[in-house]
Every structure is written in C-alpha cells, then in structure tokens.
Structure 1
C-alpha cells in the first residue's frame, strides 16, 4: 500500500508538468530534437537553403542540413574565457546575394578581453568560411570572463544592433566614453551609424545607441520593428527593455535587484532621466535569447515575447500591455535555454545548452 501511494504521488507530480507547461494555444506542442552532441552551444541562424548554422562558445561552427551535422571551417581566433567565446550569429536578409555572415565574439585586447563584431563569407555549397575579419571591437576591454553580452539584430534599415555587457565593471555602464554596458548601432562595414545619438558629444563613443545595461543576452525586433532586449540583473531584477535612441537604462544606479551579497544596488529602483524596464523577473531567471513571435502558425501568440531561462530551465512567454509573464514552457528539453528563434515556416526553435541540443516546437 505504501508503494502504491508513493507511485500515485510521483505520477501526480510528474504528469501535469508536461501537460501544462508544453501546451500551445490550441493543443500540445510537439518537441522534436533537430541536433545533439553540441558542446557549449550559443546561437543559431537559418540559411535560405533550409540549413541551420550553430555556434559553440569554444569557437566551433556547425551546419545542420537534412538532419546531418557537419563542421564549418574558417572561424577566426576567439577568446574562449568564462562567458566569452564565439557568441551570436546573424544571417542578414540579403545573405542569398551577399553570402556575408556576422558574428559576435570575445577578443583578446592585451591583458584583457572585449566584445567584437566579426564577419565572414560562406559561399554557396561551401563548408568553410572565407575572409574572417573583425569589424569592430569595444575600446577598453576588462580582465576576467564576465558579461560580454552579446546579441546581433539587423535593423529595418540594414544597420546592426549589437549588445555589449559591462564586463563586470559596473561604473563603465554609465561612461559614454566606453562601450561597456551598451547597445551599439553599426553599419555593415563596422563603422558607427551616422544617425547615432552621441556622434557629436566630446569624449563619447559614436557607436553607442543606448547605455546603462548590465549583461544583455537577448535581443529582437517586435512586429513593428522596435528593438527589445533582455538583460541579466544581479540577484533579482532581470529586465526586458524597449530600446530608445540615446536612452539610459540605469545600471548600476538603479535596479530592481540586489547584489549577490544581499546589499543594495545604487540609489533604488527609479531616478529621473533613467528608463524603467517594461518587465522584470524577481527572482532572476538568467534570460538568454529573445524572440517576438509573428503569429504565422499560432495567431494567438502574435506579438508575444519568448525568452529562454538559463537558471531554471524553461521558456518564458510574455504577453500584453504592460508586459506580463503569461506562461512557462518547461520540460526535459528546456535545460538552460541559450537561444530561441522563429524559423521561416513559423515553427519555434530553441537551443538547450544543458542538453547540448537544438529543438523545434511544432503543432
């Protein structure tokens, strides 16, 4: 009898979890493993021919085509240190014509390391990158392996948004002379975009679009073309922010979190001239990867935000105005979700660092 009661308790606890947390708006979601045996996967991108490129932090690049995974050569040197390494990948809208890819990476800078933008070409049918070049790197990297960011988003006009962490140097996020803790806006050649807000301010970096960020590891455009990011707080206070030109997002002056020691951060949760988050998580979930869904397959989810959790192993779905967390999709596959993106066919794909695998959500 004791064994029977124990079995019932286990089934009662286990069964509803999968049924509730992997439910779509019109029925259960099908979770399909697309690739496995990945070591520290960080990002992925869809190519026009239907194949998928996957980065690994240690500096490896994979191509997934018709269910088979093959190595792609030609990746330039990266600094695989702490949270840094080969990070994001961007397949621009005109890739079929230009064959140009963009990456973010950690790069050695003397005794320190910083975040950089790199580019390379992948010719049709090739499995080796050519002409790997670093286009831009932050001016003053720091020692240690924390808070590199870093995501890439192609703006509607073709320029590139690049998120940069403050590298564990908190005051630098308020210093316009340094790119630490900022969103940069760059041309495709790696120059600061001419319309950036601080191009004429003496001592300021002309690449900065917004500042006062801690460690932004998710970025996406919404259905109206606005840029949103997710960023790690300290102990509590992970944020979702709508990014505005020239805006200051407050770190480390204001925050909804506390230091890991329990101590107070800065001056509180608000200050004139500093932006408030559209949403924040407390306790922290360590958000990584951000997608705003088009509604192609699931119209009920049109405009909803999906963010991976590194800390608790789920996908957070945010909806409404103001934003609120509407659902947590959680199962064995969602261990340390590092990246999440919508495929051209409207399915949702996500990268599990914990499982070393790439998955697809479909009806």
Structure 2
C-alpha cells in the first residue's frame, strides 16, 4: 500500500516493539550482541558498528522518505560525504562540484580528497552547459550538486544534470539538505545518490549531529553499506533515535519554515538596507521556474546582500535578538550568520569564495511578526 509523506515519516521503519509493544522504537544502547552459536548472530546483529536496530529504523525511514531502497546513517553529513567519495572514487579520478558549495564540502575535496589524488572542478550547477564543460571524459566519476546551494541559493535542474552525468558514465549526487525530502526528492528526478546533513531540517531541533546517504541502486547501496562498516563513521543509537523523533514532524515544520521565509523574503526585497535577496521563491530569482517544477515549496533558507557592504552585513548579524548568531541551520529556532567569516571561511581566496556583504538566514518556526520586527530593528 502506498502512503503519504507524513505517514511514512511517522511509521516507516518504526513498527511497535514486538516484545513490549512500545510504540516508539527503543534505543538499543549496546556495542555487542549475544550469539546463539558460533557464526549465528540473532537477526544478523553482531556488533553495533555493523548494525544496530535503532539505526536500522532511521535508515529504513530515510530510504522511504526519499523514495530509495537503501538508506545509511552516519556520524555527520561530512562523514557521509567522505564515505561516498571513497566508495566511488580512486586516485586519478575527478569530481565536478558547485562553485558555491558548502564550505565543509569544499574543504573535503580541496584539503583532503585532493591529497590522495582526486581532482575537482568548480562549476555553476545552475547552468547545465557549465557542468557539461567541466566534465573530464573518462575521469569524472561524480557530478556533485546542491540545490538550493549553500549559501547563494542557486537552483540546479536535477533532471538535466542527471542526463549530463549519465552521458559521461558519472553519478549525479545531490545534497538535499536545504530542501529536505519533504520539499524535494532527487532520486525520482534521476539522481543516483542523495546526501543529507541530518543535523539540519531532518533532525530539526539543533540537538543532534548526523548525516545520511540514500540511493535507489541496490548494488551501489551494498557497496556504500560495506564502506559504512569498513570506515566506521556510523550514527550512534541515541543520535539515531533523536533524528527519528525529529523526522516525525518534518512535514509540518517545513510548511511553517516556508510560510515564515516567504514573508521575510518579501520584506527584505523592499528594504533600502538590502541590495539583493537570494530566495528561489521570489519570481525574479533566476532559478524560480526550475525550483517551482521540482520542489513542493521553496524552503526556509534566505540569503541577502547588505547595501552597506561587509561592515553593514557584520553589523546586522551582530544586532539581531531572536535570530541567534550561530552556524548550522534547519532547526526550529531562527539563525543568522556571516558566511564569509563563519561557515564558508575555508573557501576564502578560492573560486568558491562568497561575497563579503552576504548574510544568511535560517528562518525558524517562531511567530513571523516577531521575526520581522527583529530584522527591522537590525536593518535599521
């Protein structure tokens, strides 16, 4: 039977405990498992790096929400990315990444992967021709996309990039963190792997760090599962349980994030202290039509450029009260940050350097009027 998103978020992988009837999956806080005989572990569980029932519940739920067959949970989003990279790529291979990728993703490619022989090229993923030009035939193994991108809110046409990647015998990997599976499901548009920092919208409460990979390719999923165990950066049982708890309200939270973000984007668009608003829900956004085609709504992330330059941008970040000055995103509380000096500082001086006058907002689910008043004070 086919179920809707909100039903899957509450029930997929989360049957009542067969022994006690507990309606919430237990936290199996154990490192090892008794075996009935040599080589006969119960239900396949032998060691919690290899498998844990709480993590399995999260992984099954993530796969269901993204329309995949295999979901894997990791200690962080970057742990998931590193496992994927080392599964698919070898020394001498090449990857195309967004020219405004998340700073941690850039650091992974430029400071870690490049040292063991994997090259990368930054391309504007909102421009399919630019991505096609960046591919190196025979060497490119992954086209890596974020949509929306972090922090410039660029929109990539997932179906178009899938076609380009597959023509080159490469995988299309989509970081779906900003959208969440509620707003966008890349596998259904042709992507091969979806990446999440589950720390963000999936967990949703700024109380747990985690990451995930989801694929509809069972063979690739088996390879990724092998490397998840071999490399060991797994999601612990309590972290998995907290993430599952957050997932249950993902749909209703995302609707509220979007409601608030739409009002704030409209407010910022008419403010004299703001020179540009970057939000795919605005009709003037260059990716608006593509976003409307492949997303349910436009998300809770907004970036804008301060009319007074870097000094004004920093002052705005330091002046809010409800918008907490902090890195990360996707929690129920609203956050504000200066990407150039915070989340994307590692990209300074590179092709991925972000504008110095850029401010990024993670719009929470507080009362919208209160958030608007807070920004009005800070901008004034």
User: What TM-score, normalized by structure 2, do the two folds share?
Assistant: 0.25
- Name the structure where strand makes up a greater proportion of residues: 1
Larger RCO: 1 or 2 (CA < 8 Å, sep 6+): 2
Normalised by the length of structure 1, the TM-score is: 0.25
Greater helix content: 2
